Chain A
Amino acid sequence: MQRILILGGGVGGTLTANLVARKLKKQIERGEAEVTVVDLTGTHTYQPGFMYIAMGGERAEKLQRPERSLLDSNVRLVVGEVERVDEATRMVELKDGQRLLYDQLVLATGSRIVLEAIPHFVEEAHHFYTAEAALRLRKALDEFKGGKIVVGIAGMPYKCPPAPLEVTFLVEAELRERGLRDKSEIHFCSPIGRAFTIESVSEMATPILEQKGIELHTFFNVDAIDPQKKVVQSLEGEELPYDLLILVPPHKGAQFLMDSGLAPAPGGWLPTDRNTLQVGGRSNVYALGDATDLPLSKAGSTAHFEAPIVAERVAAAVRGREPKTKEANYTGKVMCFFEIGDGKGTLLQFDYDHPPKPPKPNRVWHLGKIVFNKTYWHTVPRGRV
Chain B
Amino acid sequence: MPETTPAPRLIDARGSFCPGPLMEMIRAIREAQVGDLLTVRSSDKGSKIDIPKWVEKAGHRLISVESLEGYDEITIQKTH
Chain A interface residues (CB < 8 Å from chain B)? 155-157, 161-162, 191-193, 197-199, 219, 221, 235-237, 266-267, 274, 295-297, 332, 334, 336, 348, 350-353, 355-356
Contacts and interface: CB of A to CB of B under 8 A. Distances in A.
Nearest to A200: B17
A199 B15 contact: no
B34 to A, nearest CB: 13
B50 A193 contact: yes
B32 to A, nearest CB: 10
Contact of B19 (A197, A199, A352): A197
B30 A155 contact: yes
A198 B12 CA distance: 18
Given A219-B57, A236-B57, A237-B59, A192 B20 contact: yes
B15 A334 contact: no
Interface residues of B, number: 26
Given A157-B27, A191-B23, A219-B54, 5 more contacts: A157-B24, A162-B18, A274-B15, A295-B16, A296-B19
B37 interface: no
A348 B54 contact: no
Contacts of B17: 197-198, 350, 355-356
B40 to A, nearest CB: 10
A221 B30 CA distance: 10
Contacts of A336: 18
Contacts of A356: 17-18
A75 B63 CA distance: 52
Contacts of B58: 219, 235-237
Given A192-B20, A193-B54, A266 B31 contact: yes
Contacts of A162: 18
B18 A267 contact: no
A207 B1 CA distance: 58
Contacts of A297: 18-19
Contact of B31 (A198, A237, A267, A350): A267
A200 B72 CA distance: 20
A193 B51 CA distance: 9
Nearest to A297: B18
A352 B12 CA distance: 12
Contacts of A296: 16, 18-19
B61 interface: no
B76 interface: no
Interface in B32-77: 44, 46, 50, 53-54, 57-59
Contacts of A197: 17-20, 22-23
A348 B26 CA distance: 23
Nearest to B15: A352
Contact of B53 (A193, A334, A351): A193
B45 to A, nearest CB: 9
21 contacts: A155-B30, A156-B27, A157-B23, A157-B27, A161-B18, A192-B50, A193-B50, A197-B20, A198-B20, A199-B46, A221-B26, A236-B58, A237-B59, A295-B11, A295-B19, A295-B21, A297-B18, A332-B15, A352-B14, A355-B17, A356-B17
Query: B17, B23, B53: which has the most chain A beta carbons within 10 Å?
Result: B17
B10 to A, nearest CB: 11
A295 B15 contact: yes
Contacts of B26: 156, 191-192, 221, 235
A197 B23 CA distance: 8
A334 B24 CA distance: 17
Closest 4 interchain pairs by CB?
A352-B15, A197-B20, A295-B16, A156-B27
